Structure 1
Amino acid sequence: MKRHPRASSLSRALALALLPAIAPVALAQDAAPDGSIAGDPKQLDTIVVQGEIAYRNRTDDTAPVLSYDLEYFQRFEPNTVGDMVKRVPGAAFVGSDIMEFDGVQLRGLGGGYTQVLINGKKVPGAGDDRSFWVDRIPAEMVDRIEVLRSNSANRSGDAVAGAINIVLRDAYEFDGSYLRLGVNRAFDGEVNPTFGAVTSTEALGGRILAGINVQDRYRAKNKRSDRFSDPSMEELVSWEDQVEVKDGRDYSGNLSYTADVGETGRLSLDGFYVKTDRDVTEVSFEEEYDDDDVITADVPGMATVDQANWGLGLEYRFDMAGGTTELDVDHARFTDESWESEEEHVYENGEWDGSEGEAEYIDARDAETSFKLAHRRAVGATAEMELGIDYRRKKRDFAFTTYEWEAGDEGDAVAYALDGTVASVIEEKRLDPYIQFSGEAGVLAWEAGLRYETTRSDIRYEEDGDERDGAASKDYDELLPSAHLRWNLTDADRISLSLARSIKRPNFNELIPALLDGEFGDNDYIGNPQLAPETANGVDLGWEHRLGRNGVVGINFFYRDVKDLIEVVNTGAPSREMLDTWEDMVDDGEAASIEEAMIAEPADSWVFTSANVGDGSVYGVEFDLSTPLNMFGLDDTGVFLNYSWVESEVDDFLGERRFNNQARSVYNVGFIQDLPALAASFGISYRMQGDAHERILGEEVTVEYGGDLEAFVEKRFGKSVAVRLSAANLLDASKDEFFHKFDTLGDQVDRDYDEYELESEEAGPSYQLVMRWAF
Structure 2
Amino acid sequence: MTARDPMSHPPRVRTALLPLAIAVACIPAVGQAQQDPQTPAPAADEEMVVVGQSAQLRRALADQRDADNLQTIVHSDGINSLPDSNASEALQRLPGLSIERDQGEGRFVRVRGTAPNLNNTTIDGVRVPAPEDDQRAVALDVLPSDLIDSLVVTKALTPDMDADAVGGSIDVRSVSALDKEGPFYKVSGQGSHNDLTDETSPKLAVSGGRTFNVAGGRLGVAAAVSYEDRDFGSDNIETGGSWDFEGDTPGFDEIEQRDYTSINRERTGLALNLDFEQDAANRYHFRTMYSEFTDDEQRNANVIEFDDPLAPGGTADAEVERELKDRVETQEIFSAKAGGEHIIDSWTLEYEASYSEASEEEGPDELAMGEAIFTPIDSIQGVSYSGTKRPRLNLPDNFYDDANFELDEAELEHGDVTDEEVGFKVDFKRDFVVNTNPASVKFGAKRTERTKERDITLYAFDGDDLGNPTADNFTNGEADWRFGRFGNTFNPGAVREELANLDLESNLDEEESQIEDFRIDEDISAGYLMGTLDIDDLRLIGGVRYEDTSLEGRGSRFENDTFTTETATNDYGNLLGSLHARYQLTDRTLIRSSFTQSLARPVFEELSPAIIIDGDEAEFGNPNLDPLEADNLDLGIEHYISDTSAVSAHLFYKDIKNFIFETDLAGTGQTRRGLNMNDFDEAATFENGDDADLMGLELAGSHQFASLPGVLGGVLVNANVTLTDSDASITGFNADEGRFESRDIDLPGQSDVTGNLSLGYEDRNLSMRLAGNYKSEYLLETGDPLESTGDIYQSDHFQLDFSSSYYVTNELQVSFEVTNINDRPYYAYQNREAYNAQHEEYGRTYRLGVTYASF
TM over 0.5, yes or no? yes
1:610 to 686, 689, 699: 686
Q: Which one-letter code corresponds to 1:759 in the other structure? A: Q
Tell me if structure 1 keeps the 8 A contact 2:729–2:744.
yes
2:194 to 186, 190, 194: 186
Tell me if structure 2 keeps the 8 A contact 1:483–1:498.
yes
For 1:411, what is the secondary structure of its paired residue?
A: coil
Q: Where is the strand percentage greater, Structure 1 or Structure 2?
A: 1
Residue 53 of structure 1, CA deviation? 6.4
CA distance in 2, matches of 1:485, 1:636: 36
Q: Which one-letter code corresponds to 2:355 in the other structure? A: H
User: Equivalent residue for 1:167?
Assistant: 173
CA distance in 2, matches of 1:697, 1:234: 16
2:86 to 80, 89, 96: 80
Q: Check if 1:728 corresponds to 2:807.
A: no
CA distance in 1, matches of 2:250, 2:113: 34
Q: Which one-letter code corresponds to 1:388 in the other structure? A: G
Counting only pairs closer than 5 Å after superposition, residues 642-653 of structure 1 correspond to structure 2 as: 642-653=720-731
CA distance in 1, matches of 2:848, 2:557: 50
Q: Check if 1:142 corresponds to 2:148.
A: yes
Counting only pairs closer than 5 Å after superposition, residues 93-104 of structure 1 correspond to structure 2 as: 93-94=99-100, 96-104=101-109
Tell me if structure 2 keeps the 8 A contact 1:484–1:497.
yes
User: Equivalent residue for 2:569?
Assistant: 473
User: Equivalent residue for 1:332?
Assistant: 356
For 1:572, what is the secondary structure of its paired residue?
A: coil
Q: Percent identity?
A: 19
Tell me if structure 1 keeps the 8 A contact 2:55–2:77.
no
Tell me if structure 2 keeps the 8 A contact 1:184–1:193.
yes
Residue 524 of structure 1, CA deviation? 4.2
2:184 to 169, 176, 187: 176
Q: Check if 1:268 corresponds to 2:285.
A: yes
1:410 to 457, 468, 471: 468
1:553 to 623, 643, 647: 647
Residue 234 of structure 1, CA deviation? 5.8
CA distance in 2, matches of 1:638, 1:517: 61
Tell me if structure 2 keeps the 8 A contact 1:57–1:68.
no
User: Equivalent residue for 1:586?
Assistant: none
Tell me if structure 1 keeps the 8 A contact 2:636–2:648.
yes
Residue 74 of structure 1, CA deviation? 1.6
User: Equivalent residue for 1:123?
Assistant: 128
User: Equivalent residue for 2:244?
Assistant: 230
Assess, with a 3 A threshold, how the Cα gap between structure 1 residues 517 and 649 changes in structure 2: closer, same or farther.
farther
CA distance in 2, matches of 1:736, 1:606: 31
2:163 to 146, 153, 157: 157
CA distance in 1, matches of 2:332, 2:46: 36
Compute the TM-score of the two structures, normalised by the length of structure 1: 0.84
1:280 to 288, 293, 297: 297
Identify which range, 730-739 or 510-519, moves more after superposition.
510-519
Tell me if structure 2 keeps the 8 A contact 1:393–1:427.
yes
Assess, with a 3 A threshold, how the Cα gap between structure 1 residues 756 and 706 changes in structure 2: closer, same or farther.
closer
User: Equivalent residue for 1:344?
Assistant: 373
Residue 292 of structure 1, CA deviation? 5.2
1:537 to 604, 607, 631: 631
Compute the TM-score of the two structures, normalised by the length of structure 2: 0.76
Assess, with a 3 A threshold, how the Cα gap between structure 1 residues 318 and 299 changes in structure 2: closer, same or farther.
same
Residue 322 of structure 1, CA deviation? 3.1
Structure 1, residues 104-139: CA drift from partner, whole Å, max 9, x if none? 111121111111121122111124231111111111
Assess, with a 3 A threshold, how the Cα gap between structure 1 residues 204 and 279 changes in structure 2: closer, same or farther.
farther
1:208 to 203, 211, 221: 221
Tell me if structure 1 keeps the 8 A contact 2:53–2:78.
no
User: Equivalent residue for 1:714?
Assistant: 805
Q: Which one-letter code corresponds to 2:421 in the other structure? A: E
Q: Check if 1:507 corresponds to 2:603.
A: yes
Residue 165 of structure 1, CA deviation? 1.6
Residue 238 of structure 1, CA deviation? 5.2
User: Equivalent residue for 1:298?
Assistant: 322
Tell me if structure 1 keeps the 8 A contact 2:421–2:449.
yes
User: Equivalent residue for 1:221?
Assistant: 234
User: Equivalent residue for 2:782?
Assistant: 696
Q: Which one-letter code corresponds to 1:719 in the other structure? A: N
Counting only pairs closer than 5 Å after superposition, residues 360-371 of structure 1 correspond to structure 2 as: 360-371=413-424
User: Equivalent residue for 1:623?
Assistant: 699
Assess, with a 3 A threshold, how the Cα gap between structure 1 residues 609 and 723 changes in structure 2: closer, same or farther.
same
Tell me if structure 1 keeps the 8 A contact 2:807–2:814.
yes
Tell me if structure 1 keeps the 8 A contact 2:690–2:730.
no
CA distance in 2, matches of 1:468, 1:289: 38
Residue 418 of structure 1, CA deviation? 2.5
Residue 614 of structure 1, CA deviation? 2.1
Structure 1, residues 120-179: CA drift from partner, whole Å, max 9, x if none? 221111242311111111111111111211111000000111111211112212331120
CA distance in 2, matches of 1:461, 1:758: 33
For 1:343, what is the secondary structure of its paired residue?
A: strand
CA distance in 2, matches of 1:54, 1:740: 42
Please, which runs of 5 or more residues in structure 1 have no aligned partner?
A: 1-28, 31-37, 576-597, 742-754
Assess, with a 3 A threshold, how the Cα gap between structure 1 residues 57 and 171 changes in structure 2: closer, same or farther.
same
CA distance in 2, matches of 1:393, 1:691: 38
User: Equivalent residue for 1:54?
Assistant: 57
Residue 466 of structure 1, CA deviation? 8.6
Tell me if structure 2 keeps the 8 A contact 1:449–1:482.
yes
Residue 719 of structure 1, CA deviation? 1.1
Tell me if structure 1 keeps the 8 A contact 2:792–2:837.
no
CA distance in 2, matches of 1:607, 1:234: 28
CA distance in 2, matches of 1:513, 1:125: 19
Q: Which one-letter code corresponds to 1:338 in the other structure? A: E
CA distance in 2, matches of 1:242, 1:260: 56
Residue 517 of structure 1, CA deviation? 6.9
Tell me if structure 2 keeps the 8 A contact 1:574–1:607.
no
Q: Check if 1:310 corresponds to 2:339.
A: no
Q: Which one-letter code corresponds to 2:371 in the other structure? A: E
Identify which range, 254-263 or 611-620, moves more after superposition.
254-263
CA distance in 1, matches of 2:74, 2:304: 49
CA distance in 2, matches of 1:523, 1:186: 46
Q: How many residues in Structure 1 have an aligned counterpart in Structure 2?
A: 693
User: Equivalent residue for 2:15?
Assistant: none
Tell me if structure 2 keeps the 8 A contact 1:53–1:636.
no
Assess, with a 3 A threshold, how the Cα gap between structure 1 residues 499 and 727 changes in structure 2: closer, same or farther.
same
Tell me if structure 1 keeps the 8 A contact 2:730–2:745.
yes
Tell me if structure 1 keeps the 8 A contact 2:108–2:139.
yes
CA distance in 2, matches of 1:430, 1:238: 45
User: Equivalent residue for 2:480?
Assistant: none
Residue 325 of structure 1, CA deviation? 0.4
Q: Which one-letter code corresponds to 2:651 in the other structure? A: F
Tell me if structure 1 keeps the 8 A contact 2:54–2:704.
no
User: Equivalent residue for 1:486?
Assistant: 582
Tell me if structure 1 keeps the 8 A contact 2:220–2:276.
yes
Residue 563 of structure 1, CA deviation? 1.2
For 1:392, what is the secondary structure of its paired residue?
A: strand
For 2:658, what is the secondary structure of its paired residue?
A: strand
For 1:101, what is the secondary structure of its paired residue?
A: strand
Please, which runs of 5 or more residues in structure 2 have no aligned partner?
A: 1-42, 308-314, 381-397, 399-403, 471-497, 670-676, 732-741, 785-789
For 2:665, what is the secondary structure of its paired residue?
A: strand
1:323 to 320, 324, 347: 347
CA distance in 1, matches of 2:819, 2:280: 51
Q: Which one-letter code corresponds to 1:266 in the other structure? A: R
CA distance in 1, matches of 2:282, 2:524: 28
Structure 1, residues 390-445: CA drift from partner, whole Å, max 9, x if none? 11111111223444322134218445732222321111122111111113211111
User: Equivalent residue for 1:379?
Assistant: 432
Tell me if structure 1 keeps the 8 A contact 2:131–2:418.
no
Q: Which one-letter code corresponds to 2:698 in the other structure? A: E
2:850 to 745, 764, 771: 771
Alignment RMSD:
3.1
For 1:102, what is the secondary structure of its paired residue?
A: strand
Assess, with a 3 A threshold, how the Cα gap between structure 1 residues 296 and 540 changes in structure 2: closer, same or farther.
same
Tell me if structure 1 keeps the 8 A contact 2:186–2:207.
yes
